[in-house]
């Protein structure tokens, strides 16, 4: 009875926390919708959203701002959930898609894409998540091969260390290829690497949406498996779980989710590190509770960072990735020092 009551309390706390975060995210979205060179009154904003705005307000809101915000929402969800999975799979609280090298693989895939297509617009942009996924998968496979032990299986500590080494190597290769681009394409690549949210059309939203809609529910359905990883491989195996296969499947989902997210939002790091930590502090370690909270926190951080970068520093907007890094880097150092104490 006591255990049931505890689970009920945790569920209630998760629901309340989720409602608060969702409300905060919606407020930030409304603020972001009215952030930019062209200012819209609250009345114009709501009239346009309801379909009765002026032609100019419709162009500003529906063709420019709303797609960009949709990208930040989807990418925030993807990065928050991917970070939570990586930390569970590796059993390392410092794991993050950027830190373990996945973003470096995605950046390499993006540079290969722009080297061939020379454009980021139109129908060809639908292929961008695929290229970044291939790049992320390539680096993930290399990490898996080098971190795998034939007797002990996939070793979590080695996973992180190899990931950091792979990140350095792929970053060097990306820089080399980017130097061969024309000035305009190189400028775009530089903004992407800095974490600039470049996806601003509905076709970019259409390219990212399927990855989020398919992978996030799949990962949530494996919440119990993620919980079991925390008990250690021996106990997980004793409970009837194929540890290596489960780890590979969830790792592949996290790679795809992370690479698809950054393909449209730019090389934004630290969200996958910060969001799961805050979620665990708010609702506890059970993934059926903290995965949705990680998604909402990731969305809140990314929408807020993009809004701050476009408003406070206007007219010289700075990439959202720089704003996130301003918070994420000290947070990472704090976690690193805490883990040593």
- Angle in degrees, 0-180, between the axes of helices 128-147 and 243-265, rounded to the nearest 10: 140
Predicted pLDDT of residue 339: 63
Give the mean model confidence (pLDDT) for residues 318-332.
85
pTM attached to this predicted model: 0.88
DSSP per-residue letters across 96-155: -TTTTTHHHHHHHHHHHHHHHH---SSGGGGGHHHHHHHHHHHHHHHHHHHHEETTTEE-
pLDDT digits (tens, 9 = 90+) for 251-265: 889 989 999 898 888
Give whichever of 40-44, 103-107, 314-318 has the largest mean pLDDT.
Answer: 103-107
Predicted pLDDT of residue 27: 92
8 Å CB contact between 106 and 174:
no
User: Percent of the chain having pLDDT more than 90?
Assistant: 26
Give the mean model confidence (pLDDT) for residues 89-101.
80
pLDDT digits (tens, 9 = 90+) for 128-138: 888 888 898 88
Predicted pLDDT of residue 2: 41
Predicted pLDDT of residue 279: 94
Tokens 């970068």, residue? 309
pLDDT digits (tens, 9 = 90+) for 13-53: 899 999 999 999 999 998 888 887 777 777 788 878 887 77
For the chain, the average pLDDT equals 84
Contacts (Cβ under 8 Å, ≥6 apart) of 337: none
pLDDT digits (tens, 9 = 90+) for 153-180: 666 677 778 888 888 888 888 888 888 8
Predicted pLDDT of residue 239: 56
pLDDT digits (tens, 9 = 90+) for 259-292: 989 888 888 888 998 999 999 999 988 999 999 9
Instruction: Tell me how many helices (H) and strands (E) the chain has.
Output: 15, 2
Q: How far apart are CA 169 and CA 317, in angstroms?
A: 30
């Amino acid at each position: 009875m006591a255990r049931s009551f505890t689970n009920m309390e945790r569920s209630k706390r998760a629901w309340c926390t989720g409602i608060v975060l969702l409300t905060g995210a919606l407020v930030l979205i409304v603020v972001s919708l009215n952030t930019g060179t062209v200012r819209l009154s609250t009345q114009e904003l709501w009239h346009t959203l309801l379909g009765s705005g002026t032609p100019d307000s419709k162009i500003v809101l529906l063709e420019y701002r709303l797609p960009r915000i949709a990208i930040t929402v989807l990418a925030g969800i993807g990065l928050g959930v991917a970070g939570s999975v990586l930390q569970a799979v590796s059993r390392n609280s410092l794991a993050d898609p950027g830190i373990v090298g996945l973003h470096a693989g995605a950046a390499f895939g993006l540079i290969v894409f722009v080297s061939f297509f020379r454009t980021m617009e139109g129908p060809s942009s639908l292929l961008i998540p695929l290229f970044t996924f291939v790049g992320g998968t390539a680096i993930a496979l290399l990490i898996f091969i080098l971190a795998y032990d034939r007797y002990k299986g996939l070793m979590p500590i080695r996973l992180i260390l190899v990931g950091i080494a792979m990140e350095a190597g792929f970053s060097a290769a990306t820089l080399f290829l980017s130097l061969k681009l024309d000035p305009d394409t190189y400028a775009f690549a530089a903004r992407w690497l800095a974490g600039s949210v470049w996806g601003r059309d509905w076709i970019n939203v259409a390219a990212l949406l399927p990855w989020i809609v398919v992978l996030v529910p799949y990962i949530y359905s494996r919440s119990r498996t993620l919980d079991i990883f925390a008990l250690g491989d021996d106990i997980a195996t004793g409970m009837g779980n194929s540890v290596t296969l489960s780890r590979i499947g969830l790792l592949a989902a996290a790679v795809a989710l992370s690479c698809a997210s950054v393909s449209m939002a730019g090389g934004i790091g630290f969200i996958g590190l910060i969001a799961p930590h805050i979620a665990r502090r708010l609702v506890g370690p059970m993934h059926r509770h903290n995965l949705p909270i990680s998604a909402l926190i990731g969305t809140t951080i990314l929408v807020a960072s993009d809004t701050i970068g476009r408003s406070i520093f206007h007219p010289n907007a700075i990439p959202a990735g720089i704003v996130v890094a301003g918070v994420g880097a000290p947070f990472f150092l704090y976690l690193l020092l805490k883990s040593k104490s």
